[in-house]
Structure 1
Amino acid sequence: MTLPKKRSVFIGAGMTSALVLSACAGGADGESGEAPEDGGTISVYNCEPQYMIPGNTTENCGSRVQEQLFTGLTLVDNETYEAIPGVAESWDTEDQITWTFELSEDYTFHNGDPVTAQDFVDTFNWVVDPDNAMAGANFHDKFLGYEDVSQGEAEEMEGVRALDDHTLEFELTEPFGQLPLVLTYTSFYPMPSEAFEDIDAYEAAPIGNGRYQMDGEWRRDDGIDLERYEEWGGEEPGAPQRIEWVSYSDVDTAYMDVLSGELDIMPEVPPNRIAQVEDDFGENWSQNETSRFIYMGFPLYQEEYQDVDVRRAMSMAIDRDEINDSLFDGSQTPASGVLPGILPQGREGACEFCEFDPEAAAELYEEAGGPSTVTMYTDTGTGHDEYVEAIGNMWQQHLPIEDITYESMEFAHYLELHESEGVTGPYRLGWLLAYPSPQYAMEPLYSTDAHSNYSDYSSEEFDAAIQEANFADLEDSDELYQNAENILLEDMPVIPLWFQDYFIVHSDRVENVDMDLSTFVRVEDVVVTAE
C-alpha cells in the first residue's frame, strides 16, 4: 500500500450526488454538482458524546463538537502548536505566576450576550465547585485557591479575578509557563450566565461563543447539528455553513456509509479496514500522525518489576517494527520516546532501550532475575488483545519466561483495577494530549502521586526536572522537558510502543480534510465542492 504523506494530504476528486440527509437533499444550495455559495453542509462521523458541558467533557466524542461551539481564551496554531489569541487578544506575565489576559470586545455568546471576563471567572469557579462534580475540575489545579474551592471551603478561587469587563488576572500557586496552552482545553471554555439557571436544559442545547451554534437539541444516540454563527468574533469563520455530527455505534457501518456517499467524513477508520482504504477511496483518504501514545506500563508496587534492568530488558525484547508491519500493515509510528514526534520537542532515537536487541535483552533479564511467569493486562473491545499477545509471544521467545497469562476486561473495570492497585503485571494503556504541551505528555502520568500515574512511579529527580521545565518561559522550556524525558527513558516506568496514526476517509463532495494532533478533524476548514 502506498501511503500519502502523513498529517495533511487530501485531494478531493470528482463530484457526486448529494447526501441522503435532510439538509443536503435536492441541491438546496444550487444545481446538482455545483459548489454551494454559502459553504454547504457536511456530515461527520462521531461516537456518542458522554456529556456536552465543557467542564465535564474529557473524551473525544463531546470535545470535537465543543471545539466548534466554543472559543477559549487561547487557541492552538495547528502548524506550530503554539498558543494564539482566541477571546484573549494578548497576555503577559513577568514571573510565570501572575498572568494578565486582555479580552477582545468582539465575542458574544450565541444568545447575543457579550463574553466578559466575569463569564470566565464564574465558569471556572462553577467547574471546580465539588457540588457540580465536573470531570475537568482538576485541570484548574494550578490556580491559587483551587484546593479551597474543590474541598468546599470557599466559593471562589482567589487566583481567578476579573479586573474589568475585558481584563482577566490569574494568580497561580507556582510558576507555570505552559498556561496559555493549557487554556486551550475544553474545561476552560466560557459559559453564559443562563447556563447556571438550568444546567440540564443547557446541556441539551449548549450556548457557546464559537464559530458554530446549535441547531436544535442534542439528539442522544443520533446526532448534533450545528449552524455557522455569523456574529463570531474571530477572524476566520467556518467554511461549511452547516455541520451534522452523526452518532454511530458501529464503525463499520459508518465506513460503508462514507463509501456509499451517505456520510461525508470518517476520521477513525477501523483497523480491519486500513489495508483496503486506497482500493475503496482512491485519493479520498489520508494517514495522519497524532499524539496518541500507546505503551506497556509496569506496576512498580510489585517487587518483581522494581529492578530497572527487568523493565529495560522487556522493552528491548519487543520488535516494534515487526508488530507494526504484521498487525498494523505499517500504519503506526514506532515510539522512540514518550514525547510525541509530532511535537517540536519530540526526538528520534531518544530511547536507548527501545531498540530491538533480543540477545542483550535475554542476558540483562536473566542477570536481573526477571520473573519466570508473567500476567499481562489490557482492555477489551478495541483490538488491543492481538498486539498484547504478540508482545507476550516475543517475551516468551526471547526472554527466560516460562508462562504468560492474559487478563482482559471492559475499560471501566480495567481502570478500577488500576486505581485499586490490583494489576500484578505489565499493562497496556494509551494517552492522548489534551493540549499540545510536553508537560501534559509527562506530568500527569509520571509525577509522584499524579492521578494517572498507575505505575506508582516516583522519582525525586524527575519531579524536580518537570518542575524546572514548568517554571521556565516557553522559549526556554524545550530542552528542560527533554531532560525530564531522558530520566523517564532511563528509569523505564513504561515501555513506549508506538504513536497511533489515524486514517480519514471522505466522500467525493468534500476536500481540504485535515486532522490535528488530538485526532480532531478540522471541520471548520472543510470545503464542500458539490451538493
Structure 2
Amino acid sequence: MALVAAACGSDDDDSTDAPDEAAESGGEFTIYNCEPQNLMTGNSSEVCGSSVLEQLYSGLTAVDYDTGEAYGVVATDWETEDNVTWTFNLRDDFTFHNGDPVTAQTFADTWNWVVDPDNAQQNANFYDKILGYEDVINGDAEELEGVRVIDDTTLEIELNEPFSPLPIMLSYTGFYPLPDEAFEDIEAFQESPIGNGRYQMDGEWQHDVEIAMERYEDWPGDDPGVADRIVWRIYDDINTAYLDVQAGELDVLKQIPPERETTVENDFGENLVRTDTSSFTYMGFPLYQEEFQDPDVRHAMSMAIDRQAIIDAIFNGARSPATAVIPPVLPQHREDACDYCHFDPEAAAEMYDEAGGPDELTLYFNSGAGHEDWVEAIANQWQENLGVEEISFEDLEFAQYLDLHDNAEVTGPFRLGWVLSYPSPQYAMEPIYTTGVSSNYTHYSNEEFDNLITEANGVQDQAEADALYQEAEDILLEDLPIIPLWYETRTTVHTDRVSNVEVDPRTFVRVEQIQVTE
C-alpha cells in the first residue's frame, strides 16, 4: 500500500499550484506502471494500483505535502472535541462518473461493505478504530455502529478510543467511496471502475498492457487534471521502460533501473527529477518459519550487510542507509536508532553461529523492477560474512508476489518496501508491524509494541505522541522482524513532450499536474 511495491497507499494532490489551465491544459501522455494486484479501493495496498486509484477517486480528505496536514476534498471541514466523535461536513456537488451523487450515505455504505468479512478486503483493518468494527468482523453486526449518516452532507464517526490522525488517515485509498453499481458485480466493476475523481476510465483495464483514463469534466474540485488523457503503460521490465523513454515511446518513468544511475544525467539532461522520498526498502523475515524466530539470527543477518557498499556500487549513491523505520522525511526520524543496522561482519558471524543460523536460504523478490543485482549482492555478503553455504532465488511479477505473501507461502528473507500514504509515524509502523494487520507479511506480534502505538494514537500533545512512537520503534528495532536497508532518492525521467513533472514523498508522480507541451 502501502507497499512499494507495497502498500502500500493513496491520497489526493499536494498544494503545488497547477499550470494555468486556460493556456496549458489538454493533450495526452503516457506513464510507466507495473501491473496492479487489483483496482479495488478496499483491497489495494500497493503503489501500482493506488497511484491509478487516486486519480479515479476523491476521498473525504487529502494531504498537503508542504504542511503534512489534511485538507478537505469531498469534506469541507470537520470537528471533534475529544478525538473520539468526529463530524465531517461534505460538499453537495461531487458525483460519480456515472452521474450518481456522492453523499454521506455513499461513504457509510462503502465502508460497511469493505469491513464485511465476506468481502475479504485487505484494507478492512484500517477501520478497526471505528466503533463496532469487531462486531462486524465477528458476525455480530452488519454495519459499523460508529458510522452515522446525519443527512446527505453530514457524516458522524465515533471511534473506540481517541485517534488524532483520523482526518489524515481518511485520505487513504481504502476510504474512497464506491457507487451502488459497484456492489452488483464487484469483480466486473474493477475492470473499469467508476469513481468520483479528476479522471475517469477510458475503456477497460487491459491487463499487462495499459490503463487509460480521461479527464472528468464535471469534477468540482479547485484543481482539476491538466492533461485530457493519461495512459498508464504496464511493463514487466523496467529496463524496457527506460529504453522506451529514451526512444520517445513512453513519456514518464517514475523509477529508473539502479544500474542506470551512472548514465542517467547524460541520457536525459534536464529531463530528470530527483526527489527525497519516504520509500523504505527492507528484507523481511517470515517469522512463521522456525529458522528465523531467534532475534539473534535476524540481528546477525542485518549486521552482515554492508549497505553503503551496495548503495555505492549498484545505486551510484542514490540511496541512504536505513538506520530506523521512521523515515528521514518525518521530523520524528532519529539517526542511528537501530543498534543492528551497522556493518560488523565479525560480530555478525559470531552471533549467527551461536544462534544456529540456517546454512541454506531462499531469497524472494518481485521481478522486473531492478532488484536482481542488489538482492544478489546481499546474498553474496551473507555467504562471505556468515558462511551461508547455499542461496537460491525466487522471483515473481509483483501481483503474484503479493499473492504469495497473502498466502504465507514465503520460506526465506523477502524484499519489500513501504511508502507513507500520509505523513505520520503511525503510518510508518502500525499498518505493517502490528498484530494481525493485512500487510504484516512477517507475522510479527508484540503486545507491548501494539499498546504503545495505540497509546500514541490517542495522545493530543504532539511531542508526547512522538516520544511514544519512538519508544515503539525502539521495540521494533530490537525485535527486528525486518532488516532496514535504505531510503530512496527517487529518480524520475521524462521526454520533452511533458513538463511540470513532480514527485511527492510517497514516490507518486503528480500526474494531474503534468502539462503536455507538444
Q: Same fold (TM over 0.5)?
A: yes
2:197 matched residue in structure 1: 210
For residue 77 of structure 1, the aligned residue among 38, 52, 64 is 64
Matched residue SS, 1:333: strand
Q: Hey, what's the Cα distance between the residues in 2 that align with 1:295 and 1:404? A: 21
Aligned match of 1:27: none
Cα deviations by residue, 1:147-203 (Å, 9 ceiling, x for unpaired): 333444433211111111111111222332222222111121112334334545643
Kindly provide the amino acid, as one letter, of the partner of residue 281 in structure 2. Answer: I
The 1:306–1:189 alpha-carbon spacing in structure 2 relative to 1, beyond 3 Å, is closer
Q: 1:361-380 maps to which residues of 2 (within 5 A)?
A: 361-362=348-349, 364-365=351-352, 368-371=354-357, 373-379=359-365
- After superposing the two structures, state which structure 1 stretch, 95-104 or 66-75, moved more: 95-104
* Larger-Rg structure: 1
* Number of the residue aligned with 1:252: 239
Take 1:474 and 1:440, find their aligned partners in 2: how far apart are those partners?
18
Query: 1:324-473 residue pairs with structure 2 within 5 A?
Result: 324-362=311-349, 364-365=351-352, 368-371=354-357, 373-379=359-365, 381-382=367-368, 383-399=370-386, 401=387, 403-410=389-396, 426-473=413-460
Report if the CA contact (8 A) 2:115-2:133 is conserved: yes
CA distance in 2, matches of 1:54, 1:456: 24
Q: 1:269 aligns with which of 256, 277, 283?
A: 256
Q: Distance in 2 between matches of 1:224 and 1:144?
A: 37
Instruction: List aligned pairs for 1:197-236, cutoff 5 A.
Output: 197-199=184-186, 202-236=189-223
Cα distance change, pair 331–478 in 1 and its aligned pair in 2 (3 A): same
2:146 corresponds, among 127, 139, 159, to: 159
Q: Which amino acid aligns with 1:99?
A: W
SS at structure 1 position matched to 2:54: helix
Distance 1:181 1:361, change over 3 A: same
In structure 2, what is the equivalent of residue 44 of structure 1?
31
Aligned-partner Cα distance in 2 for 1:393–1:444: 31
CA drift at 1:506: 0.6
Matched, 1:240 2:227: yes
* Alignment partners' CA distance in 1, 2:93 and 2:224: 13
Could you say what secondary structure the match of 1:291 adopts? strand
Q: Could you tell me how far apart the structure 2 residues matched to 1:71 and 1:43 are? A: 22
Pick which of 115-124 and 236-245 moved more.
236-245
Q: 1:511 aligns with which of 499, 504, 509?
A: 499
Query: Aligned partner of 1:488: which letter?
Result: L
Aligned-residue CA RMSD in angstroms? 3.0
| 1:483 and 2:475 matched | no
- 1:408 maps to amino acid: E
- CA offsets per residue over residues 34-82 of structure 1, 9 Å max, x none? x964433322222333433322333323321221121100101122332
Question: Which letter maps to 2:132?
Answer: G
Change in Cα spacing, 1:415 to 1:258, as seen in structure 2 (3 Å) is closer
CA gap of 1:115–1:435, structure 2 versus 1, over 3 A, is same
Aligned mate of 2:273, from 286, 289, 296: 286
Identity %: 58
The reply on whether 1:527 has 2:515 as its aligned counterpart is: yes
Contact 1:385 1:408 in 2 (8 A): no
Superposed CA offset, 1:222-264 (max 9, x none): 4333333333232222222332333334433432332222322
User: Which residue matches 1:135?
Assistant: 122
Contact 1:337 1:349 in 2 (8 A): yes
Distance in 1 (CA, whole Å) between partners of 2:405 and 2:251 is: 39
5+ residue gaps in structure 2? Answer: 1-13, 15-21
Amino acid in the other structure paired with 1:522: R
- Give me the TM-score of the superposition, normalised by structure 1: 0.83
SS of corresponding position for 1:336: coil
Aligned equivalents of 2:325 and 2:438: distance in 1?
A: 18
Residues 23-34 of structure 1 aligned to structure 2 (within 5 Å): none
Instruction: Provide, for residues 109-128 of structure 1, a one-character-per-residue CA deviation record: whole Å limited to 9, x for no partner.
Output: 33333321111011111222
Native 8 Å contact 1:178 1:474 kept in 2:
no
Within the candidate set 483, 490, 494, 1:495 is matched to 483
1:121/1:475 CA distance change after superposition, 3 Å: same
| Compared CA separation, residues 275 and 448, structure 1 to 2 (3 A) | same
Contact 1:291 1:342 in 2 (8 A): yes
Bigger drift between 507-516 and 203-212 goes to: 203-212
Contact 2:276 2:489 survives alignment (8 Å) = yes
Q: Tell me the TM-score normalized by structure 2.
A: 0.85
Deviation (angstroms), 1:485: 1.0
Superposed CA deviations along residues 456-505 of structure 1, whole A, max 9, x for unmatched, are 43333322221211222373422321221122223323221112343211
CA distance in 2, matches of 1:110, 1:453: 34
1:246–1:491 Cα change, 3 Å: closer
Residue 24 of structure 1 corresponds to: none
Aligned CA distance change for structure 1 residues 169 and 259 (closer, same or farther; 3 Å):
same
* TM superposition shift of 1:301: 5.5
Alpha carbons of structure 1 residues 372 and 85: separation in structure 2 relative to 1, 3 Å: closer
SS at match of 1:352: coil
Return the alpha-carbon distance in structure 1 between the equivalents of residues 244 and 80 of structure 2. 50
Whichever residue aligns with residue 468 of structure 2, its letter is L
**How many Å separate the matches in 2 of 1:369 and 1:286?**
45
Do the aligned partners of residues 107 and 369 (structure 1) sit closer, same or farther apart at CA in structure 2, a change above 3 Å counting? closer
How many residues of Structure 1 are paired with residues of Structure 2 in the alignment?
495
Tell me which amino acid in the other structure corresponds to 1:406.
S
After TM superposition, the structure 1 stretch with the greater mean CA deviation from structure 2, 517-526 or 292-301, is 292-301
Query: Is 2:40 aligned against 1:57?
Result: no
Structure 1 gaps of 5+ residues are 1-7, 9-34
Q: CA 1:307 to 1:261, structure 2 compared with 1: closer, same or farther past 3 Å?
A: closer
